[in-house]
Amino acid sequence: MPRPKAHSLLIVDDEKAIVDSLHGLFRREYNVFTATSADEGMGVLTRERIDVVLSDQRMPGTSGSEFLTTVRDRFPDTIRILFTGYADIEAVIQAVNFGQIYGYIAKPWKPDELELFVRQAIRHLEVSMENRRLTAELMEINAKLEQKVLERTRALENLEQYKECIIQSLQSGLLVCDALGCVETMNQTAGRIMGMAPDEVKGRLLDSIPKLAHFRDAVTRTLAGGKLEYQELAIQISPGETQYIGYGTSVLVTPGGEKSGVIIIFRDTTEKRKFEEQLIQSEKLAAIGELAGGVAHEINNPLGVILGFTQLLLKQDWTDPGVKKKLRHIETQTFRCKNIVTNLLKFARKSKTDEALVNVGQIMQETLDILHRQLEVENVTIIRDIGPEPALVRANENEMQQVFFNLVVNAKDAMERGGTLTVRVTVEGGRARVSVADTGHGIPSEVLEKIWNPFFTTKPPGKGTGLGLSITRRLVEKVHGQIEVESTPTQGTRFNLSFPQARLTGDSDLDGQPPAPVVRPLKGLKILVVDDEEDILRLCGELLRSSNQVDLLPDSRGVLEILKKKSYDLMLLDVMMPGLNGLELLTAIRERYPQTLTPAVVITGGPAEEVYARRNERGILDGLFRPFTVAELEAALMEAWEPSFEPRDSLCPGSRDVPNKPLK
């Protein structure tokens, strides 16, 4: 069941295309309502709770600035944003002065900047609501106290008890001090947050109490300015451990109007800060993943060319045996690069929340492969003890890789002058067991119990967030696993993980790939190859022209016209090309000739599931994933081609009729 969306947007623009575009941009994150006029937008505001209104300036009838002014009057809490062109600067000024808009966005906008702008607006709304809540809570307390003083001047003891009941019932911490900074009142909640007994601090100056001394500046500023909106402070609890406090203040005023002190309402926001840091960390990892994926895709093309031509040269007879030996070295190192690129692409792939059957031993191997060079440079020797039996666990593959990545990097950091990293993966007693051990400096006993706490870190500033092990334990426990740590100072640390072992059923498939096709001779066929990489075209030509008639095209332009004059038995199409890409080109061919179907193989550097998921939709019979070997190319073409259907005149020029042939 999808998680309900917390906030709602209203998009008002008289151009439907813009409305549809913005609806598609925001619908996954927000409840999106749309309107094509100011009147229609006002109707939506009347019916629905809207947090943010995005309005175009130029609309028939009521302009955007006029509309937002009306929204301000009727719905003052709604955030208002104006779309405008550079020519509408006067309208922007009017909207700022009279409509009091949150901001404006100049056309044309960039989607990512617009999304960030809206997130900031939502954050502004949330902070404003929190501030109003804190202020209202303070005002409620003051109002109740003042009312009771007026009503029960002769019952001071009862009033004092009632006031104390209110104070102690608050879920927020309450601290009241006089104008000199001397503590007058602290409720039990404040004592729990600050780790002290309220009675012990009453009558003492804030400056004399280390944790409360952080509020001294807030008291001074409040007495000078009247109140402080939402603030946050960081308190160092112990080396490597920080507590975050969110607070607001208000002046305590006597019946005579004299400023007698300051009220501070606060909460422990460490958990909230933790989730924000996790979000930032996730966004950083996503950016790194995107970069790694982009680099991997770019490397795949030249890597495929090197691998293909090397294997072609290996098929030739060489009088000098040293030549073939050198070619074997090139092939071996190219396969090594191919494996590294494959692991990078796995790491870069966007994580899904779905759990599947995964082999944690294989995931650990891939993690070590990614970090191998970094470990080697820092003089870390890797001992891999990964058993032959698959250690199967039902989990999210990307999250498991994040767990192992965190543990291996922590182990590396603990061995500043090098050492030995020992990784073991076994299956024992119905559980998959993983251990990561280092020979580093170890963890002192007084620190060991704190390593799972959010924001606890012994690394210097800028070297860590203190969230790695906290996230690691959460991900392990999410799949009903366990994680424990053993450490001896100066000798090293070992993390032991165990997971419930999953069983491989008859329908399970660990890698999600179809079985490898049987290669048969491919001769006498007319084959069309379309790829914008010149060297890939040259490689395909070298491989196929000896036994087949092959046409090579550098892009998708003119393909449909060529198919009017010439028929082909097979098509080999690159997915990523300028103009029409391979999938779009194939769709265009199917639409032009709906009664016929020429077998097609597509070349891609993307995830395999993207192509396999769209085979039936597009009429693709197989996929070829860069960098491919000569054998993989031949196998993919043979998988698509079935000799039982001989080339013949088709009902439509440019293809061949394949009666009753189901897609694979």
* The two three-digit tokens of residue 538, written as one number: 């040259």
pLDDT band at 466 (very low <50, low <70, confident <90, very high): very low
663 pLDDT exceeds 60?
no
Q: How far apart are the first and last CA of the chain?
A: 32
- Beta-strand ranges (E) seen in 139-194 are 173-178, 183-186
Beta strand pairing call for 241-253 and 356-359: unpaired
pLDDT digits (tens, 9 = 90+) for 564-573: 888 888 889 8
Domain 277-500 has what CATH class?
alpha beta
The pLDDT, as a whole number, for residue 2 is 59
316 vs 610, higher pLDDT: 316
What are the phi and psi torsion angles at 396 (to 5°)? -90, 125
87 pLDDT exceeds 60?
no
**Contact by Cβ (8 Å): 292, 341:** no
The pLDDT, as a whole number, for residue 286 is 65
Residue 556 DSSP label: S
**Coil, helix or strand for 44?**
helix
359 vs 583, higher pLDDT: 359
Spell out the domain ranges in the chain.
8-109, 130-268, 277-500, 526-640
294 to each of 297, 302, 412, 542, 616, how far by Cα in Å? 5, 14, 27, 28, 28
- Model pTM score: 0.42
DSSP β-bridge partners for residue 35:
12
Q: How many residues make up the chain in this entry? A: 664
- Of the candidates 264, 261, 234, the residue with the CA atom closest to the CA atom of residue 247: 264
- Of the candidates 621, 624, 619, the residue with the CA atom closest to the CA atom of residue 608: 624
In the chain, the percentage of residues whose pLDDT exceeds 70 is: 81
The pLDDT, as a whole number, for residue 288 is 67
657 pLDDT exceeds 80?
no
Q: Which amino acid is at 456?
A: F
pLDDT band at 86 (very low <50, low <70, confident <90, very high): low
pLDDT band at 436 (very low <50, low <70, confident <90, very high): very high
The pLDDT, as a whole number, for residue 154 is 67
The pLDDT, as a whole number, for residue 94 is 65
The DSSP element (H or E) to which 142 belongs, if any, is: helix 111-151
Domain 8-109 has what CATH class?
alpha beta
Burial class (CB in 10 A: 0-12, 13-18, 19+), 112: exposed
The pLDDT, as a whole number, for residue 651 is 28
441 pLDDT exceeds 60?
yes
pLDDT band at 289 (very low <50, low <70, confident <90, very high): low
Rounded mean pLDDT of 640-647? 52
The pLDDT, as a whole number, for residue 421 is 95
The pLDDT, as a whole number, for residue 650 is 33
277 vs 469, higher pLDDT: 469
Angle at 554 between CA 656 and CA 639, to 5 degrees: 40
pLDDT band at 13 (very low <50, low <70, confident <90, very high): very high
**Contact by Cβ (8 Å): 19, 34:** yes
| Choice among 263-277, 349-363, 406-420, 643-657 with the minimum mean pLDDT | 643-657
- Of the candidates 557, 440, 546, the residue with the CA atom closest to the CA atom of residue 491: 440
The pLDDT, as a whole number, for residue 565 is 85
In the chain, the percentage of residues whose pLDDT exceeds 90 is: 23
**Interhelix angle 16-26/111-151, nearest 10 degrees:** 70
The pLDDT, as a whole number, for residue 407 is 93
649 pLDDT exceeds 70?
no
Could you please state the CATH topology (level 3) that the domain comprising 130-268 is classified under: Beta-Lactamase (3.30.450)
pLDDT digits (tens, 9 = 90+) for 505-559: 654 445 444 444 445 567 889 999 999 888 889 988 988 888 899 999 998 888 8
pLDDT digits (tens, 9 = 90+) for 388-414: 889 999 998 888 988 999 899 989 988
On the CB side of 562, CA atoms within 13 Å amount to 14
264 to each of 236, 290, 602, how far by Cα in Å? 20, 45, 65
| Choice among 291-305, 373-387, 581-595 with the minimum mean pLDDT | 291-305
Angstrom distance (rounded) from CA 240 to CA 439: 22
**Coil, helix or strand for 648?**
coil
- Of the candidates 398, 403, 401, 518, the residue with the CA atom closest to the CA atom of residue 469: 403
Angstrom distance (rounded) from CA 279 to CA 286: 10
Long-range contacts of 339-343 (CB under 8 A, 24+ apart): 339/369, 340/369, 340/370, 341/296, 341/299, 341/300, 341/303, 341/627, 343/369, 343/370
**Contact by Cβ (8 Å): 88, 57:** yes
Print the SS3 string covering 561-614.
HHHHHCCCCEEEEECCCCCCCHHHHHHHHHHHCCCCCCCEEEEECCCHHHHHCC
Mean pLDDT score of the chain: 81
CATH of 526-640, one of 3.40.140.10, 3.90.1170.50, 3.40.50.2300, 3.40.50.2000: 3.40.50.2300
The pLDDT, as a whole number, for residue 550 is 92
| Choice among 43-47, 293-297, 531-535, 540-544 with the minimum mean pLDDT | 293-297
Angstrom distance (rounded) from CA 24 to CA 35: 14
**Contact by Cβ (8 Å): 68, 99:** yes
Instruction: Give yes or no on whether 8-109 and 526-640 have one common fold.
Output: yes
